[in-house]
Structure 1
């Protein structure tokens, strides 16, 4: 099966100015682009260029420095999310990505909330997710809840397993709230990639790809991506594959490796 491909422009094509990365991603054969935060981006220019070259936006982070697990941040979280949804609609983006914890520079977890109990964190996240889903449904957009690895890149992040993320989205029960399954993150945290994909495929709305260790392109680490892509086809995944990876040498060689799969 041919999966639609999305290039993460905050990780790939960093040899180029940001807006030029859109043109190059289209030239290289990507169907979509995605990025992290939107506040530091020229949204009008992204809208114009994506329309001009006919490449779509698959998604971006919708929550910035705010946390789902902090009950005191719920109001601010939802206000910011509403603003993110407005940007998503302007860009005709398919989705926004949300996280348990607010993330700072280079994905650093701003506050692990060690002072809060697991009960408080989980209940706060579930309560806010129900409201996130309502916003998503009202606006006809998808929200993807992303667990992150807590060993290498996002120490202190609360949401760390596919099971917790998928059980939360199942309990909320909205077709507009799904899980972003990042293969790199989940290989580090829990392994059993095929087992978790099969168990929770009904809740997976977007997939991120990078090899491990190193977070580079497929073929540079221990993950058998030939098997993974074949397996995704077998179990019926029909969504987008997002390449959120840091090229090991340069983006041109990384794209060559990506397209070989």
Structure 2
């Protein structure tokens, strides 16, 4: 399948799922006077974000998210959860009509095993992770898996490192593509040692891998730190962006707590036709129930662009 058609189909499929989830909303609103309407974009909280309201039980947290208008979930640590917990989460997401967002590929790439080195033992760790991720994705009905290539191998020329990363990702794509899964590559700002830094670099790598199973995870927080020009760079890389994450800068908290004009960013993303998941990959600016309520209010405000 051609890349452009794949992206179009992914967007339409996600939009259909979101619309279906919204259709379930009416009954919930009728039976629960505290339930809130959905958002214009499909924001995905993570476990723990609303624990002061919902408690520690993961299913209760999912119910709270749904009642507050959220229709997706992110869980970076899903691969580390017991199988029965994964199945329980997946079943409850299906019951609510919620989508599963990204989880992080376990041991996919880090300072200890970097794709840039081209070493077989590093590649084998990654490919084993891809095979295990297929089974996890089935249990929770996931489509997107976060992949980070790891650190630079500064013993090698940069172009050789890039070629090694591309070769490794192609092997991973061969495992994931037949299952309709997508590894979304996330350029990060956490340390200067991380190989993947910018959206343009990630765009180039996705083009070289040339598979519908390898796309960009555009994390607004990291890209504000590493390159800025958010709307311009999103436009340049748009054909390869399959997933978006959120966090204000500085602080990596909810929209409105930093320098990013999220009202304009969200409006632009909506006008581009994106109806995929918007992962809330950040902390809460304030503690307790008040902080959780403030976080929801911040999203209502930033989402009020229509």
TM-score range, shorter chain: 0.7 to 0.9
Matches of 1:24 and 1:172 in 2, distance apart?
40
Equivalences, count: 248
Matches of 2:90 and 2:70 in 1, distance apart?
12
Matches of 1:122 and 1:201 in 2, distance apart?
21
Kindly indicate whether the alpha-carbon contact (under 8 Å) linking 2:216 and 2:241 is maintained by their aligned counterparts in 1.
Answer: yes
Q: Which runs of 5 or more structure 1 residues have no equivalent in the other structure?
A: 102-110
Q: 1:49 to 1:91 in 2, by over 3 A?
A: closer
2:50 counterpart of 1:7: no
Matches of 1:68 and 1:255 in 2, distance apart?
38
Matches of 2:123 and 2:73 in 1, distance apart?
29
TM-score, normalized by length of structure 2?
Answer: 0.75
Q: 1:75 aligns with which of 88, 113, 124?
A: 124
1:166 corresponding residue in structure 2: 203
What's the offset of the Cα at 1:50? Answer: 4.2
User: 4+ runs of 1 displaced by more than 6 Å?
Assistant: none
Matches of 2:107 and 2:284 in 1, distance apart?
24
Write the deviation string for residues 27-51 of structure 1: whole angstroms up to 9, x where unpaired.
Answer: 3221111111334323422432442
Question: For the pair shown, which has the larger CA radius of gyration, 1 or 2?
Answer: 2
2:137 counterpart of 1:96: no
Matches of 1:18 and 1:257 in 2, distance apart?
25
1:223 corresponding residue in structure 2: 260
What's the offset of the Cα at 1:175? Answer: 1.9
2:273 counterpart of 1:236: yes
Matches of 2:163 and 2:77 in 1, distance apart?
26
2:75 corresponding residue in structure 1: 35
Q: 1:17 to 1:68 in 2, by over 3 A?
A: farther
What's the offset of the Cα at 1:22? Answer: 2.6
Matches of 1:217 and 1:81 in 2, distance apart?
31
What's the offset of the Cα at 1:57? Answer: 1.3
2:12 corresponding residue in structure 1: none
Matches of 2:265 and 2:214 in 1, distance apart?
24
